[in-house]
Amino acid sequence: MPEATWKVGELAARTGLTVRTLHHYDAIGLLSPSARTGSAHQAGHRLYTAADVARLHQIVCLRQLGFGLEQVREYLSRAGYDPREVVRLHLADVRRRAAELADLGRRLESLDEALDRADAVSPDTFLQTIEAMVMVEKYYTPEQLKRLEERAKEVGPEAIDRAPQQWADLHADVRAAMDAGVDPADPRAQELARRWFDLVSAFTGGDPGIFKSLRTMYENEDTVAGMDVAAMRPMMEYVEKARVAAGIRHPGEN
């Protein structure tokens, strides 16, 4: 059985690429048809083989991963090149984007429910939703977001509903201790540190990666989901000193 081959127009139609793109790949030596027709009426027509199609797949994968054409050429020509690596890289990227889209879908479902419950949603609600979406995706990996979703199911909606008030009460207590001049090494301050890290652990589930992402976000951002993080930093520094004095380990420590 003769090997399957494709003319440039046929390959373009099958792949969704343009003839112009395939011609460009040929012109720069990235992908050239490696066979020719032998019939009298089609003599000299160049044809793509199965091996050419396999190489084209590699090129398209790398392009979707953000590689420039020169980078694609270098990657495919390097010593020890293994086409399976490209497939695995592309698969990992597709899974990452799928997780991001799934998370975005869940966020939009929540917004849709909010719209159903009210006649109108304020611009601030939309702005806070956008901020939260961008903020979370900036600091947490898709795997961490999935773990946080699982963690929310583990602790249950009642615990989640209680958390804002618990944090508000704790912030008030920490601020009062600071205003009263309580030394971070004082047992009262150390107890505040224990409460603080208990709440953090309830959120992170003890995951060191999530803890690190959370801490990085609070170190780099002045506002998070409407909270004035910049104003909280003196409290965070105070609690950290109390934690060290109490010998409390956090999830990010070895």
For the chain, the domains span 8-81, 83-121, 125-246
Predicted pLDDT at 40: 44
Cα separation, 191 vs 239, whole angstroms: 10
Predicted pLDDT at 125: 55
What is the C-alpha R_g of the chain? 28
Predicted pLDDT at 187: 93
Residue 6's beta-bridge partner residues? 48
CATH numeric code, 8-81: 1.10.1660.10
Chain-centre distance for alpha carbon 160? 23
Cα separation, 48 vs 12, whole angstroms: 11
Residues of the chain with confidence (pLDDT) below 70: 1-2, 38-44, 100-101, 107, 111, 114-115, 117-137, 223-227, 251-254
Torsion from C-alpha of 159, 165, 166, 172, nearest 10 degrees: 170
Half-sphere exposure of 110 (CA within 13 A, CB side): 12
Predicted pLDDT at 160: 74
- Burial classification of residue 220, based on how many CB atoms lie within 10 Å of its CB (0-12 exposed, 13-18 middle, 19 or more buried): exposed
Name every residue whose Cβ is closer than 8 Å to that of residue 104 and which is 6 or more positions away in sequence: 133
Dihedral (CA of 25, 29, 33, 38) sign:
positive
For residue 193, the SS3 value is helix
Longest distance between any two alpha carbons in the chain, whole Å = 98
Predicted pLDDT at 86: 86
Half-sphere exposure of 125 (CA within 13 A, CB side): 11
Cα separation, 53 vs 231, whole angstroms: 58
Minimal CA–CA distance to 154: which of 202, 110, 194?
202
